[in-house]
Amino acid sequence: MSARRAAERVIAYIDGFNLYYGLRAARYQRYYWLDLVALARNLLRRHQALVRTKYFTARIAGPKPADSPSKKARLREKRKRQTTYLDALETLSNLLIFEGHYLAKDMRCHGCGAEWTSHEEKMTDVNIATELLLDAFNDAFDTALLISGDSDLVAPVRAVRQRFPDKRVVVAFPPRRRSGDLCAAASACITIGRATLARSLLPETVTTPTGHCLRRPSSWT
């Protein structure tokens, strides 16, 4: 049997917003420009082979007509940075991007009466659970590498391990993100360190197949 056939097959499932907010909480803006395939590969052991990386995210909601000029400007800049990053990720091989959506939610402060609209990201945990279970049933991996600290993913992780006892689910927690329940449900859990992030960055400039140059946002340096 060849070394390639003997390698343990790994699919990585990356919770985009959990990773982003973990980086933000750790003040790791310089690591926002991540090569997600490289990140997953840098978390593998020698006997493992990364066969696919799946990234789950949602497009940032755009401004509303009633928003203030400053808020509109902030949202446009956020959308621009995210679009640049997603376009850069689309140049990577063996990476699939799954998009959820934002749901607007009216909020009100009970103390001062102030009102505002918040946006909650929806579908990421459902999409991750669906892909994880489908891949397990289709025998697409030997080990699932789940990059998230979201405890909502405990149920699908348990389901995979119970239905497929020969398969492993390893959870890699982003910085400042950890769930004891998720760690207990998994086969193993690790925390992504700063050195791994530093080794997993995209080039400063990424060229698309059409020749367009995408540059890392200046605020991410």
Domain count, the chain: 1
What's the confidence (pLDDT) of residue 185? 98
> Going by C-beta distance under 8 Å and a sequence separation of 6 or more, which residues neighbour residue 189?
170, 171, 172, 173, 182, 183
Reference 134, options 144, 148, 123, 124; nearest CA is: 144
What's the confidence (pLDDT) of residue 172? 98
Which residues make beta-bridge pairs with 188? Answer: 170
Please give the average per-residue pLDDT across 9-31, as a whole number: 97
pLDDT tens digits for range 51-81: 999 999 998 777 777 778 887 888 888 889 9
What region does 5 belong to: left with phi over 0, alpha with psi -120 to 50, or beta?
alpha
> What H or E segment, with its residue span, contains residue 196?
helix 194-198
C-alpha to C-alpha distances, 26 to 32, 83, 177, 197, 217, nearest whole angstrom: 11, 23, 10, 12, 19
| CATH of residue 78 | 3.40.50.1010
* Full domain range(s) for residue 58: 3-220
Polymer length of the chain: 221
Is residue 116 very low, low, confident or very high in pLDDT (cuts 50, 70, 90)? very low
